[in-house]
């Protein structure tokens, strides 16, 4: 009996039980396809990274004795479409059973489910064996509840998996050390050199050029710096534990003009391609902490674990609980376009310039840059969530829809009306100044709301609150800001709104 097994580009889990032993009747297949490179315009480094990791994975499988068919992007047999490629192989190899791993994207899940229905041979779907939770666990967990609070899910995960627990109680006496995780980085604590891999990818770059795939962003370094194999991902993880964990929580929300990654792990690309699992990451961090607990405060460890077993699993669960309607949500009825400077970094607003340049140069920005700089700005300028989604899904090397969409449309753009975030993540210059040194060298004055040199975020912030009053004023967490707005003089509010409207209408001039 001949079995065809599909491995998608973000399913590179070498520890999967499929690969425990070789089997002559199993043929694995992997495809680089225009179907995947063209559904949004991706960052050049994202395309390079996916292809590099896929090619490496197929070589590693072959060297372990598995039979693999691999279609490169310009391969002569490549139809550029997933199901056409599959049909071709099924026919040519007299395949009797088709097997695939659960896709994490709704789009691919639908495509493969429909395809299997149309097949005359048997088909089965298997778990990717990557996440802690199953697809619909979160939906079950929150069934009948009014709010889908991440914190409740996170505490349950800690208990269920016995992570940072002691005699049924949270280790360190608290579930959450968020309050101690909000320091500004002022250069006093040294940041170790970043661990950047030097993966040679000349052949991939030339294949991308030949195929004329449209991309955004830059690739000046000539080598791809994120991990592309399980071995490299484990190295990156080790480096994180030994060098960065010690201050991860302290500077989790900090931003600085001289520092791209601060104490962040840069593990999202490797995790999202499943080179390593969430369990690999959590276990390594916990093991390191158990051995070096005297040097590392629990707040650093808890802060990191929360991102992985809390936010990451929560976002995946929310995605599956809310799709497909989620993708069309726009409860704040925002309609504007993103300005051109999101693709060039050509703006006088220093915070945006820093976050966008970082994204264009590295296919990376850390969480607070994504949420409180670019996301904050897009929301304050009332940008249509489709525009925002396309940008985020394209620009980051780690962007896969199951994690990008709930973060962008839900958490950052509040387009779901508050299912994921309990209030919109918007701020004026004061928060940006509190967490970064961006305002120090900015063209604009962080303290002013109106006038030529006034920080755009200040007028946009109050304008946003005023214009979204019908949707937001009853939100308990917004009450304080609305009472401040209500105390402002009408004439001042009018002037602020006038300036904000000018900014919205002329974004590329700012």
- Binding positions for ligand SF4, rule: CB under 6 A: 349-351, 429, 432-433, 438-439, 442, 444, 446, 455-457
- CA 325/CA 323 separation, integer angstroms: 5
Q: Is 366 in the site for ligand FAD (CB under 6 A)?
A: yes
Instruction: Closer to ligand SF4 by CB, 445 or 475: give it.
Output: 445
Residue pair 156/141 in contact (Cβ under 8 Å)? The answer is: yes
Provide, rounded to whole angstroms, the least separation between the CB of residue 259 and ligand SF4.
Answer: 16
- Give the closest residue to 300 by CA, choosing from 234, 292, 430, 375: 292
Q: What are phi and psi of 182, to 5 degrees?
A: -130, 50
Instruction: Closer to ligand FAD by CB, 315 or 332: give it.
Output: 315
- Give the closest residue to 329 by CA, choosing from 423, 409, 426, 421: 409
Helices 202-211 and 44-63: crossing angle in degrees, nearest 10, is 120
Cα-to-chain-centroid distance, residue 143: 26
Instruction: Closer to ligand FAD by CB, 406 or 449: give it.
Output: 406
Provide, rounded to whole angstroms, the least separation between the CB of residue 377 and ligand FAD.
Answer: 11
Choose among ligand FAD, ligand SF4, none what residue 370 binds, the Cβ cut-off being 5 to 8 Å by kind. Answer: ligand FAD
Q: Is 415 in the site for ligand FAD (CB under 6 A)?
A: no
Instruction: Closer to ligand FAD by CB, 5 or 130: give it.
Output: 130
Q: Is 370 in the site for ligand FAD (CB under 6 A)?
A: yes
- CA 138/CA 364 separation, integer angstroms: 28
Instruction: Closer to ligand SF4 by CB, 332 or 503: give it.
Output: 503
Virtual CA dihedral for 433, 438, 440, 443, nearest 10 degrees? -110
Q: Is 225 in the site for ligand FAD (CB under 6 A)?
A: no
Q: Is 78 in the site for ligand FAD (CB under 6 A)?
A: no
Q: Is 399 in the site for ligand FAD (CB under 6 A)?
A: yes
Residue pair 177/298 in contact (Cβ under 8 Å)? The answer is: yes
Per-position x/- string for 264-303, each x denoting binding to ligand FAD as judged by CB under 6 A, each - no binding: xxxxx--xx-------------------------------
**Of these, 183, 307, 330, 475, which contacts ligand FAD (CB under 6 A)?**
307
Name the burial class of residue 83, with classes exposed (0-12), middle (13-18) and buried (19+) by CB atoms within 10 angstroms of its CB: middle
Q: Is 90 in the site for ligand FAD (CB under 6 A)?
A: no
What number of chain residues touch ligand FAD (CB under 6 A)?
Answer: 27
Q: Is 381 in the site for ligand FAD (CB under 6 A)?
A: no
What are the structure tokens assigned to 261, written together? Answer: 């990654």
Residue by residue, DSSP assigns 328-392 as G--TT---BPPPGGGGT---S-HHHHHHHHHHHHHS---HHIIIIIIIHHHHHTTB-HHHHHHHH
Choose among ligand FAD, ligand SF4, none what residue 322 binds, the Cβ cut-off being 5 to 8 Å by kind. Answer: none
Provide, rounded to whole angstroms, the least separation between the CB of residue 120 and ligand SF4.
Answer: 60
Q: Interface with ligand FAD by CB under 6 A: which residues?
A: 264-268, 271-272, 307-308, 311-312, 315, 366-367, 370-371, 375, 392, 396, 398-399, 403-404, 407-408, 411-412
């Amino acid at each position: 009996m001949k079995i065809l097994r599909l491995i998608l580009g973000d399913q590179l889990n070498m520890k999967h039980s499929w690969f425990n032993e070789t089997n002559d009747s199993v043929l694995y297949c992997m495809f680089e396809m225009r179907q995947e490179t063209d559904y949004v315009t991706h960052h050049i480094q994202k395309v390079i990274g996916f292809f590099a990791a896929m090619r490496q994975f197929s070589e590693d499988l072959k060297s372990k004795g598995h039979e693999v068919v691999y279609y490169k992007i310009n391969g002569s047999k490549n139809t550029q479409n997933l199901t056409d490629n599959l049909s071709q192989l099924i026919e040519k190899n007299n395949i009797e059973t088709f097997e695939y791993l659960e896709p994490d994207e709704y789009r691919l899940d639908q495509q493969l489910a429909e395809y299997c229905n149309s097949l005359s041979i048997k088909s089965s779907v298997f778990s990717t064996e990557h996440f802690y939770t199953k697809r619909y666990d979160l939906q079950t967990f929150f069934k009948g509840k009014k709010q889908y609070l991440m914190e409740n899910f996170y505490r349950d995960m800690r208990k269920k998996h016995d992570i940072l627990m002691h005699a049924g109680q949270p280790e360190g006496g608290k579930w959450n050390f968020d309050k101690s995780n909000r320091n500004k980085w002022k250069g006093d604590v040294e940041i170790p050199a970043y661990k950047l891999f030097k993966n040679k990818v000349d052949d991939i770059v030339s294949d991308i050029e030949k195929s004329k795939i449209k991309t955004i962003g830059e690739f000046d370094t000539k080598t791809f710096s994120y991990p592309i194999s399980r071995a490299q991902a484990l190295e990156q993880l080790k480096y994180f534990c030994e060098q960065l964990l010690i201050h991860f929580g302290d500077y989790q929300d900090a931003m600085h003009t001289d520092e791209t990654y601060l104490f962040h792990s840069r593990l999202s690309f490797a995790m999202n391609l499943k080179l390593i699992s969430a369990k690999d990451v959590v276990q390594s961090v916990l093991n390191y902490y158990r051995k070096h607990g005297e040097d590392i405060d629990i707040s650093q460890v808890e802060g990191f674990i929360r991102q992985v077993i809390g936010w990451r699993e929560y976002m995946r669960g929310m995605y599956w609980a809310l799709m497909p309607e989620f993708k069309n949500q726009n409860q704040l009825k925002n309609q504007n376009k993103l300005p051109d400077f999101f693709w060039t970094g050509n703006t006088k607003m220093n915070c945006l310039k820093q976050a966008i340049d970082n994204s264009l140069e590295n296919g990376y920005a850390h969480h607070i840059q994504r949420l409180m700089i670019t996301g904050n700005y897009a929301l304050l300028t009332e940008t249509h969530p489709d525009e925002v989604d396309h940008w985020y899904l394209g620009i980051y090397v780690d962007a896969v829809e199951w994690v990008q969409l709930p973060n962008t449309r839900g958490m950052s753009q509040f387009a779901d009306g508050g299912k994921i975030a309990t209030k919109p993540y918007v701020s004026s210059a004061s928060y940006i100044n509190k967490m970064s040194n961006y305002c120090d060298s900015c063209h604009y004055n962080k303290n002013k709301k109106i006038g030529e040199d006034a920080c755009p975020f200040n007028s946009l912030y109050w304008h946003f609150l005023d214009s979204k009053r019908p949707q937001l004023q009853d939100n308990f967490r917004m009450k304080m800001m609305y009472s401040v707005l209500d105390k402002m003089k009408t004439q001042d509010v009018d002037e602020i709104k006038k300036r904000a409207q000018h900014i919205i209408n002329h974004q590329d001039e700012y």
